[in-house]
Chains A and B, each alone.
Chain A
Amino acid sequence: MTDQEFIDGIINHNREAINYLVNNYQNKVIKTAYYFIDNMEEAEDLSQEVMMEVVKSVHQYRKKANLNTWIYRITVNRSLDYLRRQKRRSIVKRLESFVRISNDGEKQFPYELATWDTRNEDIEKRKILDNAISSLPRNQKIAFILSKYDELPYREISEIMNLSLSSVESLIFRAKANLQKKLVYYFSEYSTNVK
Chain B
Amino acid sequence: MDCHFVHNHLFSYQEKTLSEDEKLEFEAHLASCHNCNRIAAGFQFVTASVNMKKDDKPDPFIGTRTIQRIESELKHGSITTNPLFWSKLQPVIVSLLLLISVVLGFSIGSQIDAAFSLTSEHDQKIQMMKSGLSIPDFIDENLVFENN
With a cutoff of 8 Å between Cβ atoms, the chain B residues found around residue A176 in the complex are: 11
- Asked if A11 meets B81 with Cβ closer than 8 Å, knowing A27-B58, A177-B8, A187-B42, the reply is yes
Quote the shortest CB–CB distance from A67 to chain B (angstroms).
Answer: 15
With a cutoff of 8 Å between Cβ atoms, the chain A residues found around residue B52 in the complex are: 122, 126
With a cutoff of 8 Å between Cβ atoms, the chain B residues found around residue A129 in the complex are: 45-46, 49
Tell me, in angstroms, the Cα distance from A19 to B71 when the chains sit together. Answer: 10
- Asked if A22 meets B39 with Cβ closer than 8 Å, knowing A40-B56, A52-B73, A180-B8, the reply is no
Q: Is the CB of B56 within 8 A of A34?
A: yes
Tell me, in angstroms, the Cα distance from A188 to B35 when the chains sit together. Answer: 7
With a cutoff of 8 Å between Cβ atoms, the chain A residues found around residue B21 in the complex are: none
Tell me, in angstroms, the Cα distance from A47 to B35 when the chains sit together. Answer: 43
Quote the shortest CB–CB distance from B63 to chain A (angstroms).
Answer: 5
- B79 contacts A by Cβ under 8 Å: yes
Q: Is the CB of B54 within 8 A of A149?
A: yes
- A10 contacts B by Cβ under 8 Å: yes
Size of the chain B interface, CB-CB below 8 angstroms: 36
With a cutoff of 8 Å between Cβ atoms, the chain A residues found around residue B45 in the complex are: 122, 125-126, 129
With a cutoff of 8 Å between Cβ atoms, the chain A residues found around residue B54 in the complex are: 31, 149
Interface of B is mostly: helix
Q: Is the CB of A180 within 8 A of B49?
A: no
Which has the most chain A C-beta neighbours within 10 Å: B59, B63, B69? B63
Partner of A58, one of B46, B62, B65, B81: B81
- Asked if A187 meets B58 with Cβ closer than 8 Å, knowing A22-B67, A55-B79, the reply is no
Q: Is the CB of A59 within 8 A of B53?
A: no
- Asked if A59 meets B83 with Cβ closer than 8 Å, knowing A35-B53, A180-B8, the reply is yes
**Using a CB-CB cutoff of 8 Å, which residues 57-75 of chain B contact chain A?**
58-59, 62-63, 65-67, 69-71, 73-74
Give A20-38 as 1s and 0s: 1 = Cβ < 8 Å from B's Cβ atoms: 0011001100110011001
- A94 contacts B by Cβ under 8 Å: no
- B116 contacts A by Cβ under 8 Å: no
Which has the most chain A C-beta neighbours within 10 Å: B43, B82, B86? B43
Binding site for B on A (CB under 8 A): 10-11, 13, 15, 18-19, 22-23, 26-27, 30-31, 34-35, 38, 40, 43-44, 47-48, 51-52, 55-60, 122, 125-126, 129, 148-149, 176-177, 179-181, 183-184, 186-188, 190-191
